[in-house]
A = this chain, B = another copy of it.
Protein backbone atom coordinates (compact mmCIF):
# COMPACT_ATOMS: atom_id res chain seq x y z
CA UNK A 1 0.00 0.00 0.00
CA UNK A 2 1.22 3.46 -0.95
CA UNK A 3 -0.36 6.12 1.27
CA UNK A 4 -0.21 9.78 0.28
CA UNK A 5 -0.59 12.07 3.27
CA UNK A 6 -1.21 15.81 3.00
CA UNK A 7 0.69 17.57 5.80
CA UNK A 8 -1.25 20.83 5.79
CA UNK A 9 0.13 24.32 5.59
CA UNK A 10 2.82 25.26 8.03
CA UNK A 11 4.41 22.95 10.61
CA UNK A 12 4.47 19.39 11.96
CA UNK A 13 1.22 19.83 13.89
CA UNK A 14 -0.85 20.51 10.79
CA UNK A 15 -1.07 16.80 9.91
CA UNK A 16 -4.37 15.10 10.78
CA UNK A 17 -4.62 12.60 13.63
CA UNK A 18 -5.35 9.96 10.95
CA UNK A 19 -2.19 10.92 9.09
CA UNK A 20 -0.14 10.96 12.29
CA UNK A 21 -1.25 7.45 13.24
CA UNK A 22 -0.48 6.17 9.75
CA UNK A 23 3.05 7.63 9.83
CA UNK A 24 3.68 5.95 13.17
CA UNK A 25 2.69 2.48 11.90
CA UNK A 26 4.09 2.54 8.32
CA UNK A 27 7.09 0.46 7.24
CA UNK A 28 8.87 3.35 5.53
CA UNK A 29 8.17 7.07 5.37
CA UNK A 30 9.24 9.51 2.64
CA UNK A 31 8.71 13.24 2.31
CA UNK A 32 9.10 15.70 -0.54
CA UNK A 33 9.55 19.47 -0.24
CA UNK A 34 9.74 20.00 -3.97
CA UNK A 35 6.12 20.75 -4.87
CA UNK A 36 5.59 22.84 -1.73
CA UNK A 37 7.22 23.55 1.63
CA UNK A 38 6.42 23.49 5.34
CA UNK A 39 8.32 26.59 6.42
CA UNK A 40 7.43 26.16 10.10
CA UNK A 41 9.41 22.94 10.45
CA UNK A 42 12.28 20.83 9.09
CA UNK A 43 12.78 17.18 8.22
CA UNK A 44 14.79 16.79 11.43
CA UNK A 45 11.98 18.20 13.57
CA UNK A 46 9.49 15.97 11.80
CA UNK A 47 11.66 12.93 12.56
CA UNK A 48 11.71 13.93 16.21
CA UNK A 49 7.96 14.58 16.21
CA UNK A 50 7.10 11.21 14.67
CA UNK A 51 9.95 9.38 16.43
CA UNK A 52 11.18 7.71 13.24
CA UNK A 53 13.33 8.12 10.16
CA UNK A 54 11.89 10.13 7.27
CA UNK A 55 13.68 10.05 3.92
CA UNK A 56 13.53 13.19 1.79
CA UNK A 57 12.89 12.75 -1.93
CA UNK A 58 14.45 15.37 -4.21
CA UNK A 59 12.97 16.49 -7.50
CA UNK A 60 14.88 13.88 -9.46
CA UNK A 61 13.77 11.18 -6.99
CA UNK A 62 10.14 12.16 -7.49
CA UNK A 63 10.52 11.81 -11.22
CA UNK A 64 12.89 8.84 -11.45
CA UNK A 65 12.57 6.93 -8.20
CA UNK A 66 8.80 6.91 -8.03
CA UNK A 67 8.91 3.50 -9.76
CA UNK A 68 11.05 2.21 -6.89
CA UNK A 69 8.58 3.61 -4.34
CA UNK A 70 5.68 1.95 -6.11
CA UNK A 71 7.49 -1.40 -6.25
CA UNK A 72 8.28 -1.22 -2.53
CA UNK A 73 4.64 -0.47 -1.80
CA UNK A 74 3.67 -3.80 -3.36
CA UNK A 75 4.76 -5.63 -0.20
CA UNK A 76 5.27 -2.88 2.35
CA UNK A 77 3.31 -0.07 3.92
CA UNK A 78 4.91 3.01 2.36
CA UNK A 79 3.95 6.60 3.22
CA UNK A 80 4.69 9.66 1.09
CA UNK A 81 4.31 12.92 3.02
CA UNK A 82 3.35 15.97 1.00
CA UNK A 83 3.10 19.61 2.17
CA UNK A 84 -0.44 20.97 1.71
CA UNK A 85 -2.95 18.50 0.25
CA UNK A 86 -2.34 15.50 -1.95
CA UNK A 87 -2.21 15.98 -5.73
CA UNK A 88 -2.77 19.71 -5.84
CA UNK A 89 0.57 19.26 -7.65
CA UNK A 90 0.16 16.95 -10.64
CA UNK A 91 3.40 15.12 -9.79
CA UNK A 92 1.45 13.11 -7.23
CA UNK A 93 -1.35 12.04 -9.52
CA UNK A 94 1.31 10.67 -11.90
CA UNK A 95 2.67 8.47 -9.11
CA UNK A 96 -0.87 7.35 -8.21
CA UNK A 97 -1.48 6.41 -11.81
CA UNK A 98 1.76 4.46 -11.95
CA UNK A 99 0.72 2.55 -8.81
CA UNK A 100 -2.70 1.78 -10.27
CA UNK A 101 -1.20 0.51 -13.51
CA UNK A 102 1.05 -1.85 -11.53
CA UNK A 103 -1.80 -3.07 -9.34
CA UNK A 104 -0.45 -1.46 -6.16
CA UNK A 105 -3.11 -0.12 -3.78
CA UNK A 106 -3.08 3.54 -2.86
CA UNK A 107 -4.76 5.49 -0.10
CA UNK A 108 -5.15 9.25 0.39
CA UNK A 109 -5.18 11.08 3.72
CA UNK A 110 -5.94 14.71 3.02
CA UNK A 111 -4.44 17.83 4.54
CA UNK A 112 -5.29 21.52 4.52
CA UNK A 113 -4.33 23.35 1.34
CA UNK A 114 -3.89 26.97 0.41
CA UNK A 115 -6.61 26.34 -2.19
CA UNK A 116 -9.23 26.48 0.57
CA UNK A 117 -7.27 28.33 3.28
CA UNK A 118 -7.13 31.42 1.07
CA UNK A 119 -10.90 31.86 1.60
CA UNK A 120 -10.65 32.05 5.40
CA UNK A 121 -7.66 34.38 5.22
CA UNK A 122 -8.96 36.82 2.60
CA UNK A 123 -12.74 36.55 3.00
CA UNK A 124 -12.95 36.04 -0.77
CA UNK A 125 -15.78 33.71 -1.67
CA UNK A 126 -14.70 30.22 -2.62
CA UNK A 127 -17.21 29.91 -5.46
CA UNK A 128 -15.79 33.05 -7.13
CA UNK A 129 -12.26 31.73 -7.73
CA UNK A 130 -11.44 30.86 -11.33
CA UNK A 131 -8.42 29.04 -12.73
CA UNK A 132 -5.08 29.39 -10.96
CA UNK A 133 -1.56 29.86 -12.31
CA UNK A 134 2.06 29.94 -11.21
CA UNK A 135 4.35 32.95 -11.54
CA UNK A 136 7.60 31.30 -12.64
CA UNK A 137 11.12 32.71 -12.57
CA UNK A 138 12.10 33.83 -16.09
CA UNK A 139 13.78 31.19 -18.19
CA UNK A 140 16.73 33.12 -19.63
CA UNK A 141 15.09 36.28 -20.95
CA UNK A 142 11.72 34.64 -21.49
CA UNK A 143 8.93 35.72 -19.15
CA UNK A 144 5.85 33.50 -19.29
CA UNK A 145 2.59 35.27 -20.14
CA UNK A 146 0.50 32.38 -18.78
CA UNK A 147 -0.49 34.12 -15.52
CA UNK A 148 -1.68 37.17 -17.48
CA UNK A 149 -3.72 35.01 -19.85
CA UNK A 150 -5.31 33.21 -16.89
CA UNK A 151 -6.14 36.49 -15.11
CA UNK A 152 -7.78 37.81 -18.30
CA UNK A 153 -9.69 34.54 -18.74
CA UNK A 154 -10.95 34.80 -15.18
CA UNK A 155 -11.86 38.47 -15.57
CA UNK A 156 -14.03 37.52 -18.54
CA UNK A 157 -16.21 35.50 -16.13
CA UNK A 158 -15.73 37.85 -13.14
CA UNK A 159 -13.55 35.45 -11.15
CA UNK A 160 -10.56 35.81 -8.82
CA UNK A 161 -7.17 34.31 -9.71
CA UNK A 162 -5.01 32.45 -7.21
CA UNK A 163 -1.35 32.82 -8.16
CA UNK A 164 1.23 30.40 -6.82
CA UNK A 165 4.77 31.74 -6.63
CA UNK A 166 7.69 29.68 -7.92
CA UNK A 167 9.66 27.86 -5.20
CA UNK A 168 12.88 27.16 -7.09
CA UNK A 169 15.68 27.98 -6.64
CA UNK A 170 14.10 29.84 -3.69
CA UNK A 171 10.58 30.92 -2.67
CA UNK A 172 9.70 33.91 -4.84
CA UNK A 173 8.79 37.11 -2.98
CA UNK A 174 5.66 39.06 -3.76
CA UNK A 175 7.82 41.98 -4.94
CA UNK A 176 9.62 39.69 -7.39
CA UNK A 177 6.36 38.18 -8.63
CA UNK A 178 4.93 41.64 -9.30
CA UNK A 179 8.11 42.62 -11.14
CA UNK A 180 7.78 39.52 -13.36
CA UNK A 181 4.08 40.13 -14.00
CA UNK A 182 4.83 43.75 -14.94
CA UNK A 183 7.45 42.60 -17.44
CA UNK A 184 4.98 40.20 -19.04
CA UNK A 185 2.21 42.80 -19.07
CA UNK A 186 3.15 44.51 -22.37
CA UNK A 187 -0.29 45.98 -22.87
CA UNK A 188 -0.64 47.20 -19.26
CA UNK A 189 -3.76 45.07 -18.88
CA UNK A 190 -3.13 44.74 -15.14
CA UNK A 191 -2.38 48.35 -14.31
CA UNK A 192 -5.71 48.88 -12.53
CA UNK A 193 -5.89 45.40 -11.02
CA UNK A 194 -6.33 44.94 -7.29
CA UNK A 195 -4.68 42.04 -5.56
CA UNK A 196 -4.10 40.43 -2.18
CA UNK A 197 -0.69 39.29 -0.99
CA UNK A 198 -0.60 36.58 1.65
CA UNK A 199 2.34 35.32 3.71
CA UNK A 200 2.65 32.33 6.03
CA UNK A 201 -0.84 30.87 5.72
CA UNK A 202 -1.43 28.39 8.51
CA UNK A 203 0.95 30.11 10.93
CA UNK A 204 -0.09 32.09 13.99
CA UNK A 205 0.93 35.33 12.28
CA UNK A 206 -0.17 35.29 8.67
CA UNK A 207 0.07 38.65 6.87
CA UNK A 208 -2.67 39.62 4.41
CA UNK A 209 -2.55 42.89 2.48
CA UNK A 210 -4.81 44.18 -0.26
CA UNK A 211 -3.77 46.95 -2.63
CA UNK A 212 -3.36 47.70 -6.30
CA UNK A 213 -1.36 44.78 -7.72
CA UNK A 214 1.51 47.03 -8.74
CA UNK A 215 1.61 48.62 -5.26
CA UNK A 216 1.90 45.32 -3.36
CA UNK A 217 5.74 45.45 -3.32
CA UNK A 218 5.43 48.49 -0.99
CA UNK A 219 4.12 46.23 1.79
CA UNK A 220 6.25 44.23 4.19
CA UNK A 221 5.12 40.60 4.17
CA UNK A 222 7.90 39.14 6.32
CA UNK A 223 9.09 35.58 5.83
CA UNK A 224 7.80 33.10 3.16
CA UNK A 225 5.77 31.28 1.86
CA UNK A 226 3.78 33.70 -0.24
CA UNK A 227 0.80 33.54 -2.57
CA UNK A 228 -1.24 36.21 -4.32
CA UNK A 229 -4.80 36.64 -5.48
CA UNK A 230 -5.64 38.99 -8.33
CA UNK A 231 -9.19 40.13 -7.66
CA UNK A 232 -12.12 39.90 -10.03
CA UNK A 233 -13.28 43.26 -11.40
CA UNK A 234 -16.40 43.12 -9.26
CA UNK A 235 -16.52 42.21 -5.57
CA UNK A 236 -19.29 41.07 -3.29
CA UNK A 237 -19.90 43.62 -0.52
CA UNK A 238 -18.79 41.18 2.19
CA UNK A 239 -15.56 40.49 0.30
CA UNK A 240 -14.80 44.21 0.35
CA UNK A 241 -15.73 44.51 4.03
CA UNK A 242 -13.47 41.61 4.96
CA UNK A 243 -10.50 42.93 2.96
CA UNK A 244 -11.06 46.34 4.47
CA UNK A 245 -11.12 44.96 8.03
CA UNK A 246 -8.35 42.37 7.77
CA UNK A 247 -6.12 43.39 4.86
CA UNK A 248 -5.95 47.22 4.90
CA UNK A 249 -7.72 47.38 1.53
CA UNK A 250 -7.71 50.90 0.08
CA UNK A 251 -11.00 52.74 0.29
CA UNK A 252 -11.24 53.04 -3.53
CA UNK A 253 -11.73 49.28 -3.68
CA UNK A 254 -15.30 49.96 -2.52
CA UNK A 255 -15.97 51.17 -6.08
CA UNK A 256 -15.58 47.56 -7.24
CA UNK A 257 -18.49 46.36 -5.13
CA UNK A 258 -21.38 45.29 -7.32
Contacts and interface: CB of A to CB of B under 8 A. Distances in A.
A238 B90 contact: yes
B88 A126 contact: yes
Among A13, A21, A126, A150, the most chain B Cβ lie within 10 Å of the Cβ of A126
Contact of A85 (B4, B117, B204, B242): B117
Interface string A16-57: 111011000000000000000000000000000000000000
Interface in A181-197: none
Given A4-B120, A93-B123, A127-B131, A110 B14 contact: yes
Which interface residue of A14, A15, A116, A202 has the most chain B CB atoms within 10 A? Answer: A116
Interface string A143-159: 00000001001101101
A92 interface: yes
A197 to B, nearest CB: 17
A18 B12 CA distance: 9
Nearest to A14: B16
Given A96-B242, A132-B127, A120 B87 contact: yes
How many copies are assembled? 2
A241 interface: yes
Interface stretch (A62-70, A100-108, A169-177, A218-226): A100-108
A94 B119 CA distance: 12
Contact of A93 (B17, B85, B120, B129): B120
7 contacts: A16-B111, A86-B117, A87-B126, A92-B120, A113-B113, A126-B132, A131-B157
User: Which 4 residue pairs spanning A and B have beta carbons closest together?
Assistant: A87-B120, A110-B112, A113-B116, A85-B116
Interface of A: 4, 6, 8-9, 11-18, 20-21, 84-90, 92-94, 96-97, 100-101, 107-108, 110-113, 115-117, 119-121, 123, 125-134, 150, 153-154, 156-157, 159, 201-202, 204, 238, 241-242, 245-246
Given A88-B126, A131-B159, 5 more contacts: A14-B16, A87-B119, A110-B202, A129-B129, A156-B156
